[in-house]
Amino acid sequence: MYYFSHFLLVISFIVKLSSSSSIPANFIFGDSLVDVGNNNYIASLSKADFAPNGIDFGNPTGRFTNGRTIVDILGQEIGLSGFTPPYLAPTTNGAASLQGVNYASGGGGILNHTGQIFGGRINLDAQLDNFANTRQAIISTIGEDAAIKLFQNALFSIAIGSNDFINNYLTPVISKVEQHLVSPESFVAAMISRFRTQLMRLKSMGARKIIVANVGPIGCIPYQRDINPSAQNQCVALPNQLAQLFNAQLRSLVQQLNAINLDGSKLIYADVYHIVDDIIRNYTSYGFENSNSACCHSAGRFGGLIPCGPTSKVCEDRSKYVFWDPFHPTDAANSVIAMRLMHGGATDIWPINLSELLKN
């Protein structure tokens, strides 16, 4: 019976792929901003599979927020049924991979040594290795021609880079040594060089519609505010300057890769920094009441000193907070970001937004 249902699912998927111009699948790479449970299956200090995480999702799943991640919301908007499953879940195999897989990992980065303080984490090179495994499994399931068409029409979403700063270059125990030996310009150049190689590898495996999110205003997260009290009520300057330095070069990289478009691929630059900065500056116009503190908090003026956990206090109305915990947005903030990526102008997402991409 299992094999018959599996066969029917594959046949219906191939029919849908041949008759629809919509996005058939979403393959997701990144860090804790978009991790939906991969870290549940590895030995890591970066986990969210416990309450009160997921308090508005229904239960803790490994998402580092109270509800949905940005990619959960975008998946719903582009018409995918259900949420894209984590790669390491035992049920994510065969036909279950045909609408996409999420490879993201809390603590992961562009550089392989990023996130060492957490122990286990899956950095981007390893995530691409995992996609290569999925790719081969999909080819075995539906055949090479149908698989190539799937990858050409699928969405590939990448949200990574924050940890390369927060849990690498800016980590308090190593930052003074790291920053003395490596200038910000050299560190960012190493990130961009590695990221270019990774994006080229993804393209070589058939990805054609690739959304690359930049690094948000990490100097505004509750954690950075609390460990840098001299900033008082302002965002911390250095982390934001590093993010902006990286983002400028990332935008140039996207332009370069689009300019040598010999394979029909389209890279889209998602300016999450601009969107989140706007939310924080104009939070009341979005219906928020707090733009600088963690809803799930234990210690620190902004609730940023201790990760969200079972002993944390939780704000009564999560929809009024931009930040869920010391590092991550709430479902409400994620919804604003997702809608801006779907329908925003060129200052939000460039050269086209997601709703325009759906028409291509």
Span 259-276, pLDDT tens digits: 987 788 999 999 999 999
Q: Determine the pLDDT at residue 290.
A: 98
Q: Determine the pLDDT at residue 1.
A: 45
Residue 167: CB atoms within 10 A of its CB come to 24
d(CA 131, CA 162): 21
Q: Determine the pLDDT at residue 218.
A: 98
- Whether 32 is catalytic is yes
Looking at CATH, the fold of the domain delimited by 23-271 is given as Rossmann fold (3.40.50)
- Whether 226 is catalytic is no
Q: Which helix (H) or strand (E) holds 266?
A: strand 266-270
Catalytic residue selected from 105, 271, 297, 328: 328
Q: How far is CA 128 from CA 56, 74, 135, in A?
A: 31, 21, 10
Residue 20: CB atoms within 10 A of its CB come to 11
- Long-range CB pairs of 200-203 (<8 Å, 24+ gap) are 200/257, 201/128, 202/29, 202/128, 202/131, 202/156, 202/158, 203/257, 203/263, 203/265
On the CB side of 247, CA atoms within 13 Å amount to: 22
Q: Determine the pLDDT at residue 96.
A: 86
Q: How far is CA 279 from CA 186, 274, 298, in A?
A: 31, 9, 24
Q: How far is CA 193 from CA 251, 257, 267, 350, in A?
A: 13, 13, 17, 21
- The overall average pLDDT reported for the chain is 93
Taking Cα atoms as reference points, which of 305, 322, 356, 113 lies closest to residue 216? 322
pTM for the complete prediction?
Answer: 0.94
Q: Determine the pLDDT at residue 217.
A: 98
Q: Determine the pLDDT at residue 81.
A: 86
For residue 310, which phi and psi values (nearest 5 degrees)? -55, -25
Span 158-177, pLDDT tens digits: 999 999 999 999 987 655 56
Domain residues of the chain, as ranges?
Answer: 23-271
Catalytic residue selected from 72, 277, 325, 331: 325
Q: Which regions of the chain are under pLDDT 70? A: 1-21, 173-180
Residues 6+ apart with CB under 8 A from 54: 48, 60, 61, 63, 65, 66, 67
Q: Determine the pLDDT at residue 359.
A: 85
Strand partners, 27: 156
- Whether 6 is catalytic is no
**How far does Cα 243 stand from its chain's mean position?**
15
